[in-house]
Amino acid sequence: MARQTRSVDWGFPRWRGYGTTREAKQVRLCDRHGCAEPGNHPAPKAPNSPDRWYFCQTHAAEYNRGWNYFEGLTPEEAAAREARETADANGYAEARHYGWAGPGDGTRSRDEMRALEVLELESDADFDAVRVAWRRLAKANHPDVCPGDAEAAKRFQSIQAAYEVLRVAEEYRQWRPG
């Protein structure tokens, strides 16, 4: 048998992550019959049971829609469990002001969020809504429509700058692979 002489770690910086190997990784498949997707989302098999199913995201959502968390409990036991778990989760509610950023899902930069505010849009607005809002506000604040109005000219410039920020970000999202 030939001995492998080439190292995976040649050069600097290391060309692989720490703890990685060349061997194939074991992937757990979704427990739903016939599904070949990876099963990355655990779901309890029964209330108060440590046993878990492992579903893909689609089948985990389907399973959770029909899941009754309080099944098999008396109304008093269900109320006691709900009160206990609500009390445990209140620590997270008290610490929410330590969050990293403002509204949004983290897919937009701070500049994009400011641009959306200028265009009077929500944080989840798509680019078609951005274009519509930009045209509406630009027409209303254009210097030809409001001659001699310094405030309108200033608003028009900020609207144009906001649109440019969002346009460049959208082009980058379209260009960026994956």
* Domain annotation for the chain: domains and CATH numbers: 41-92 (no CATH), 110-175 (1.10.287.110)
The pLDDT score that the predictor gives to residue 169 is 87
Asked if 71 contacts 57 with a C-beta cutoff of 8 angstroms, the reply is no
- Residue 55: phi and psi, rounded to 5, are -115, 160
- Residue 169: phi and psi, rounded to 5, are -65, -40
pLDDT band, very low/low/confident/very high, at 20 (cuts 50, 70, 90)? low
Asked if 20 contacts 9 with a C-beta cutoff of 8 angstroms, the reply is no
The pLDDT score that the predictor gives to residue 115 is 93
- Residue 42: phi and psi, rounded to 5, are -75, 145
- More confidently predicted of 147 and 99: 147
Lowest pLDDT segment from 77-86, 101-110, 137-146: 101-110
127, two tokens: 């680019």
- More confidently predicted of 65 and 91: 65
Q: What percent of the chain has pLDDT over 70?
A: 74
- More confidently predicted of 109 and 35: 35
pLDDT in tens, 131-167: 999 999 999 999 888 888 889 889 999 999 999 999 9
pLDDT in tens, 68-81: 777 778 899 989 98
Query: Which one-letter amino acid corresponds to residue 141?
Result: N
The pLDDT score that the predictor gives to residue 104 is 55
Lowest pLDDT segment from 2-11, 122-131, 159-168: 2-11
